[in-house]
Structure 1
Amino acid sequence: MTAAIQKDTVQKALSAHAAIGLVVSALLYIVCVTGTVVVFYQEWQRIEQPDAPEMARIAPETVQAGIARVLATEKGKPRTTHLYVHLPVPDLPRTTVTTDHQAVHLDGAGRIAAREENGWSEFLLALHYTLSVPGPVGITIVGALGVMIVALSLSGVIAHPRIFRDAFRLRARDRNGIGLADWHNRLSVWTLPFILAIALTGAVIGLATVGGYGLAAKFYKGDIEATYAPIFGGEGKPDARPAPLPDVAATLRHMAVRFPGVRPSYVILHDPGTAGQHVQVIAEHDRRLIYGENYAFDAQGRFHGAAGLADGEVGQQASASIYNLHFGNFGGLPVKIAYVLLGLALSVVTATGVSIWLGKRERRGVHAPRLRSGWDAVTWGVPLALALTLLARLLIGNSAPFVAIFWIASALFVALAMAWPSRRTKRGMQWSLLASLLGSLAAAIV
C-alpha cells in the first residue's frame, strides 16, 4: 500500500515537473513568435492607421508650431514633463507629438491631424518585451528567457558532436521522430549565429533593468537616471519657474548645418515651458548599428554636446547598438525580411524541441497525451491568439482589449486541447489560424 502511494506521488511529481517545463517553454515560444512579428513594428503602425498624414520631411518652423498647438490643448492639465516629437524617417514617414497626456499626428502644416492609434503595435511590443507583465518584473523574466536560449543553444551544440558535420543531413520522417529531430538540429545549426545574437542582446536588454536598479541602489542613492547618465547623457537641473517654450526650430536648423550627415529621428523636450527646460535630438547615423546619437541643446538652440554613442567609449557604442541588432532595425527591408525568416526558424526550433522531448518520454513508456495535446495548442494557439488580436484591432478599433483577448484565448485553447486530446483539436486551430489571417487581410484591404 505504501509503495503504491509512493509510486503515485512520484508520478504526480514528474507530471508537475513536466508541466512546469512546458509553461516555461510556452513563454519562450511566445517571446520568439512575437519577436518575429514585431520586426515590422513600424509597418504595423502604418497598417493600423493608414490615413495618418505622411511626409518625407518637415520644416523646423512647422515642428515648432506643432509643439505649441499640442501644448495649447493641455491647459488646465498637469504640466507635461517630457514631450517627444517623432520626425519622419523612411520606415515611418510621420510626425507625431507625444506628451504625458496624449499622442497626436501632425500634418505638413503643423496642425493636429488625428490622435495616434497604434494600440495593437504597442500591445505586440509590450508582449515581446514584458509578456504583458507591468514594471521591471516582466522585462526581467524575458531577459532570463534570453539567457535560457543561449544556454540551450550552447548545450545543444555540445550534446551533438556531429551537429556541424551533419548540417545538411535530413532523414525521412518516421514514427520515432528522427526526421523531426533532424529538422530541429539543422535549423539550429543554420541559424546559430542569429540565435546567439538575438538571445544575448535580448538578455542584455531584459536584465539591464535589474542591473540598473542594483547599480542605482549601490552607487547613486537609488537614482536610476543617474545610473544611465554616463552612457546616454543626463537630465538637466530642474527649475519649475515658467518660461517660453524652447526654440526647437533653431535646434533643428543648427543640426542641419553642423551635422549634415545625420538624420534626426526624435526631438525630446525635457520639462517644456519651465526655466530648467532643455532639448535633446536623437539622430540616426548611416552605416552604423547605433540607434542614434544624443545631441543636447539649451532652450535657445545652442549646442551643448553629444553623449558619445557614435564615437565615445566602446561600451557606450555597444550599448547603443544592442537595440537595432536585436530587432533588425538596420539595412532596410532586406534585413527585416531576413530577421523574420530567421525568427520563424527560431520559433520552429523552440516548438520542435519540446515535441522531441515529449516523443522521447513516450518511447520510454511515459505516455502523456494531454501534455502532448496541450503543447500542440501552444504551438498553434499562440499564433492564432495573435491573429485574433489583430482581427479585433481591424474590426473593433484601437480600444479592443488586446491583452485580455490574447491571454484568455491562449489559455482557452490549451485547456480545450488538454480536456479533449485529439488531432481534430489541432487541425481545428490550424484552420482557425488560416481563417483569422485571411480575415485580417480582408479587413486591412477594406
Structure 2
Amino acid sequence: MPAPQPQTLVQRALGGHAAIGLLAGALLYIVSLTGAVVVIHDRWQRWEQPTIAEVTALTPSAAQAGVAAAIAQDAGKPRTTHLYLRMPNADLPRAVATTDHGGWYVDGQGRVAGREAHSWTEMVIGLHEYLHLPATWGMLLVGALGVALAALLITGVLAHPRILRDAFWLRTRHDPQIARADWHNRLGVWTLPFALAVTLTGAFIGLSGVGYSVLAKAYTGGNLEKIYAPIYGPEGMPDANAAPLANIATALATLHARVPAAMPTYVIVHDPGTRGQHIQILAALPRRLVYGEDYRFDAAGRWQGPVGLTNGPWGQQFAASTYNLHFGNFGGLPVEIAYLLLGLALCVITSTGTTLWLGKRRRRGMGSDRLEACWAVVIWGTPLALVWTAWLRGVAGPDAFLVAAFWGLLAAGLAVAVARPLWIVPEQLRTVLLACLIATGLGHAIILRPAAPAILALDAVMVLGALLSLVVLRRFQAGEGREAGAGSRPSS
C-alpha cells in the first residue's frame, strides 16, 4: 500500500479556509439557537425557580418596602450605585429588587421572598448577547455576525432567481440532500422579513456600543454619559453625602396620576441613600414599539418629566424600538411563540446551509470526516450542552460554574470529533438530545412540582415537542441511511 502523500500548501490552505468557514457557521448557529431560547427568557426564569411565590401587582408602599429590604440585605457591603426594582407583569409575575451585590424576590408586602438565582437563564442570555466573551468584544463579534447573516440571507435570495416562484415546492421524499436544500431555500424565503429584522437590529445593538465609544473619544474626551444623554437622558450630579432612601412610593403614585396608561416595568434609584440620588421609572405604553418611556423624579418623588423615548426625535424613538423588535417583547404570548418558531427556523437555515456546503465538498472529493463530525457536534451538541447545564444547575445549585461547563462539554465533543470522527453519529446525537428533553420536562414536573400552569406548559412543550420530533425525524433517517450506503457519510 503506497504511503500517503503529504498535503500541499494549497490543500492545507483550503483545509484552513474550510475550518474558518465552519467556525463562522458554528457561531451563527449558536447565536441563532440561543436567540430562540432567549425570546421567552422570563418564562425560563420562572421555570428555573418554580417555587418562588408570585404576585400580579405591587403597590407603591410595597415597592418602597421592597427596595428598603433589598438595601438591608447589603449590610456590611460597599454602598450600591444603582438599585433596580423590576415590577411584576404577565410574563414574570414576580417583583425583583437588585443591588450591585445581588437580587431578591419580594412579595406583595415588600418582604424578601427568596434569592434571585436564575443562573442558567443568565448563562443562555450571555451566550446569545456576547458569547461569554468580555462584553465589549463579545457584543462586537455578535453584531458582526448579525451583519454577516443579513448579507447571507439577502445574497441567498438573489442567488436563486426562482426562489419566490418555488416558495411552496418541497421535495421531501427525494434524496436527503435535495430535501435539505429545499428546506433551506424555502425557510429562507418564508422567514426573510423576520430574519432581516432580527439580524439587523441585533447588529445595531451589538455594534452600537462600539459606535458610542468612537463618538465619545472623538467628541467628548471619552465621556460616554454625554453620548448616551441625547437618547437615554442625562445622569444626575453625584453627591455622596448620606440621605434617607428616595421616595419611590410617591414617584409611582405621581406617575399613575399623570400618565394613567403607563405600566411601570422598572424603578431605578441612582446612587441610593445619598443626596445625589434620583429616581427613574421605565414604563410601557400601549401600542408603542419602544421598550418604554423613561420618567424622571427627584429623591422626594417629585415629577421632573419624561426623557422623550416615545415622542422625541425619530432617531431616539428608533434606538428605543430596536430592543423590543429584536427580542419580540411586544404583543404578548402570541408574538413570543411566533418569534420562537421563526427563531428555530433560522437555526434550520444556518445549520442546513453549512451541511449543504460540506456535502458539496464531499462530492468534489474534498470531504473531511473531521469537519463533518465537528459540525454534527455543533448542531446537536450545543442544545445538549444547554440541557445538561440546566440539570447541573438543578443538582449543584445556582452557583455552579455553568459557563465553564457549557464550553467544556462542547469542547469535549469537538475533541472526540477530531480524534475519532467515526464515533460521531448524527442520528444518535439527535436521539440522545430528544431523550434528554423528554427526561428534563418530566423530571422537572415530577421532582419540583411547579404550581403555575405556565411553568407546567413549558415542561409539556418539551416532552410533546421531543416526541413529535422523534416521529418526524424517522422519515429522514431512512433516506440518510441510503445516502450513507452509497458511499457518503451520514450528514448532520
- Global fold match (TM > 0.5): yes
SS in 2 for 1:290: coil
Match of 2:303 in 1: 303
CA contact (8 A) 2:228 2:234 kept: yes
Task: Describe how 1:98-117 pairs up with structure 2 within 5 A.
Answer: 98-117=98-117
Cα distance between partner residues in 1 of 2:387 and 2:73: 36
Structure 1 residue 304: Cα displacement: 0.7
SS in 2 for 1:399: coil
Match of 2:488 in 1: none
Match of 2:331 in 1: 331
The residue type equivalent to 2:338 in the other structure is A
CA contact (8 A) 1:180 1:356 kept: yes
Match of 1:271 in 2: 271
SS in 1 for 2:40: helix
CA contact (8 A) 2:80 2:272 kept: yes
Greater Cα shift, 359-368 or 249-258 = 359-368
Cα distance between partner residues in 1 of 2:399 and 2:77: 23
In structure 2, do the counterparts of structure 1 residues 237 and 138 end up closer, same or farther at CA, with 3 Å as the change threshold? same
Structure 1 residue 396: Cα displacement: 2.4
TM-score (norm 1): 0.96
CA contact (8 A) 2:39 2:340 kept: yes
CA contact (8 A) 1:176 1:359 kept: no
The residue type equivalent to 1:117 in the other structure is A
Match of 1:162 in 2: 162
Match of 1:217 in 2: 217
Cα distance between partner residues in 1 of 2:101 and 2:376: 43
Cα distance between partner residues in 2 of 1:424 and 1:239: 61
1:442 aligns with 2:442: yes
The residue type equivalent to 1:132 in the other structure is H
Task: Describe how 1:130-145 pairs up with structure 2 within 5 A.
Answer: 130-145=130-145
SS in 1 for 2:239: coil
Cα distance between partner residues in 2 of 1:357 and 1:100: 47
SS in 2 for 1:154: helix
CA contact (8 A) 1:394 1:443 kept: no
Q: Deviations over 1:122-152 (max 9, x none)?
A: 1110000000112300011000000001110
Q: Deviations over 1:95-139 (max 9, x none)?
A: 111001121111111111111111011111000000011230001
SS in 2 for 1:378: helix
Match of 2:417 in 1: 417
CA contact (8 A) 1:53 1:108 kept: no
Structure 1 residue 174: Cα displacement: 4.6
TM-score (norm 2): 0.87
- Share of identical aligned residues, percent? 52
In structure 2, do the counterparts of structure 1 residues 16 and 349 end up closer, same or farther at CA, with 3 Å as the change threshold? same
In structure 2, do the counterparts of structure 1 residues 172 and 70 end up closer, same or farther at CA, with 3 Å as the change threshold? closer
The residue type equivalent to 2:236 in the other structure is G
Structure 1 residue 369: Cα displacement: 1.9
SS in 2 for 1:85: strand
Cα distance between partner residues in 1 of 2:191 and 2:73: 50
SS in 1 for 2:8: helix
Cα distance between partner residues in 2 of 1:77 and 1:398: 21
Task: Describe how 1:379-394 pairs up with structure 2 within 5 A.
Answer: 379-394=379-394
Task: Describe how 1:79-90 pairs up with structure 2 within 5 A.
Answer: 79-90=79-90
Match of 2:455 in 1: none
SS in 1 for 2:265: strand
Match of 1:406 in 2: 406
Match of 2:366 in 1: 366
Cα RMSD (Å) of the superposition?
1.5
Q: Deviations over 1:331-380 (max 9, x none)?
A: 11111111111011100000000011111112222121221121111111
CA contact (8 A) 1:291 1:320 kept: yes
Cα distance between partner residues in 2 of 1:431 and 1:299: 58
Structure 1 residue 423: Cα displacement: 7.3
The number of aligned residues is: 442
Task: Describe how 1:22-421 pairs up with structure 2 within 5 A.
Answer: 22-175=22-175, 177-421=177-421
Cα distance between partner residues in 2 of 1:405 and 1:192: 34
SS in 2 for 1:310: coil
Match of 1:432 in 2: 432
SS in 2 for 1:239: coil
Structure 1 residue 182: Cα displacement: 1.2
CA contact (8 A) 2:84 2:269 kept: yes
The residue type equivalent to 2:250 in the other structure is A
The residue type equivalent to 2:442 in the other structure is A
Structure 1 residue 432: Cα displacement: 1.9
Cα distance between partner residues in 2 of 1:193 and 1:404: 36
Cα distance between partner residues in 2 of 1:106 and 1:172: 52
The residue type equivalent to 2:358 in the other structure is L
Greater Cα shift, 202-211 or 415-424 = 415-424
Match of 2:453 in 1: none
Q: Deviations over 1:258-292 (max 9, x none)?
A: 11011001100001111111000000111111111
Greater Cα shift, 177-186 or 27-36 = 177-186
